[in-house]
Copies of this chain bind each other. A is one copy, B any other.
Amino acid sequence: MCRFPICFLLIGGLCGAQGGSDSQPASSNVRGAEYPRVSSDLRVTFRIKAPQARQVRLQPGGDDNGLGKGPMDMMRGADGVWTVTTPPAVPGFHYYWFLVDGLAVGDPGSETYFGWGKESSGVEVPEKGTDFYAVKDVPHGEVRTRWYYAKTTATWRRAMVYTPPEYDRNARARYPVLYLQHGAGEDERGWTNQGRANFILDNLIAEGRAKPMIVVMEQGYATLLGPVQGSATQGRGTGQSVVFEQVVLNDLIPMIDATYRTRADRDHRAMAGLSMGGGQTLQITLTHLDKFSWIGSFSSPLRTGFDLKTAYNGAFADAAAFTRRVHLLWFGAGTAEERMLKPALAMSEALQQAGIRNVFYQSPGTAHEWQTWRRDLHEFAPLLFQ
């Protein structure tokens, strides 16, 4: 590929920037792309050249996207370049795409982030006074792509495995493990690409605030493709979440414990997830307390009015026994996502009243987006394995 117009990118970088005099290209852009740009007051300016289009709009991903309500009309310039500047945005990571004559298209200036079931554009809006998810001058762990064969699904699957900075230097040390799941429409890359989980952990470990740990991120989807084997479907159907649970228990955890220097017992095994992944976490951990003792639910779609006695196979029925066994039960939600916040608060309070200790964290001003979940991880991880 020697025909790449590198000169175009370089020239594009030197002229034409219009996103406010103090604006900067978003850190989520591809190398050299000048748009989107973020101003110091957190307005975001988007741009796309579409000379033949009749209408171009900016579509933030979802109703509670921190860019504001969409779609937003973009204005056509004389050169066929369409632009829009949003109101000041909520800090964090926001999915978006353009609607060009009604067709949803990605922004060639943006990196892609798997969300909404496709490779989506995304824009990073910095939060002033906060750098807990920045790449800093501290020792860095690795994120390792690990392929493994899952008997449950009869397929090769890909896990992303964070190992802490010291992992390769302490060749005899063993580490606790956090299994960390993404939301619906996302995949095993979300927690690092969008969530910056590796930098959050690097920074917490460098500050001595979190124990060095392994973090395993897998795709929360699984279907039975090959011949049904073992206990995968015994009496519980073949739905995605049931099959995923079997993958975690029968394939993923044994593979991780056989491949990495883990502390392979329930006292050193945590699971957390966001949205769909939080629901999967509660289902898997609470019905398998022999395997897990640290539990995190971030912005999960919980039902109100659940029955303490029967929920999750009766895990909460004996409060004293639960409290003895479970080291941490942790809930989080953003204050701007009432739909997730209220049922989670109700569940947390019902548990407290029943004598089941739990922690609740409210992320100020953020909705059903990655800034909430970055903060969740930043609050949750220091409590683990202590």
Contact = CB atoms under 8 A, between A and B. Distances in A.
Interface of A: 1-6, 9, 30-32, 50-53, 62, 100-106, 108-112, 114-119, 135, 137, 140, 142-149, 156, 161, 168, 171, 183-187, 192, 198, 219, 221, 240, 259-260, 275-276, 301, 368
Contacts of A105: 100, 103, 105-106
A143 B140 contact: no
A108 B101 contact: no
Given A117-B30, A146-B142, A184 B2 contact: yes
A181 to B, nearest CB: 12
A259 B183 CA distance: 34
Contacts of A184: 1-4, 6
28 contacts: A1-B275, A2-B183, A3-B62, A3-B184, A4-B117, A4-B185, A6-B117, A30-B119, A31-B187, A31-B221, A51-B102, A52-B101, A53-B103, A100-B100, A101-B101, A104-B108, A105-B105, A105-B106, A106-B119, A108-B118, A111-B119, A112-B112, A140-B147, A140-B148, A142-B144, A142-B145, A143-B144, A143-B145
A1 B186 contact: yes
Contact of A101 (B53, B146, B148, B192): B53
Please provide the 9 A-B residue pairs with the shortest distance between their CB atoms, ordered closest to farther. Answer: A4-B185, A1-B183, A4-B184, A105-B105, A112-B119, A143-B145, A112-B112, A142-B144, A108-B118
A31 B62 CA distance: 21
B117 A32 contact: yes
A49 to B, nearest CB: 8
Contacts of A185: 1, 4, 6
Nearest to A156: B135
Given A1-B116, A103-B105, A142-B161, 5 more contacts: A1-B368, A4-B117, A4-B183, A111-B119, A112-B112
A149 B136 CA distance: 9
A53 to B, nearest CB: 7
A155 to B, nearest CB: 10
A144 B104 CA distance: 33
Contacts of A145: 142-144, 192, 198
A301 B105 CA distance: 34
Contact of A106 (B101, B106, B259): B106
Nearest to A6: B184
A177 to B, nearest CB: 15
A168 B51 CA distance: 54
B140 A2 contact: no
Contact of A103 (B100, B119, B240, B259): B100
Contacts of A112: 112, 119
A8 to B, nearest CB: 8
Nearest to A120: B108
A93 B369 CA distance: 34
Contacts of A5: 117
Contacts of A103: 50, 52-53, 100, 105
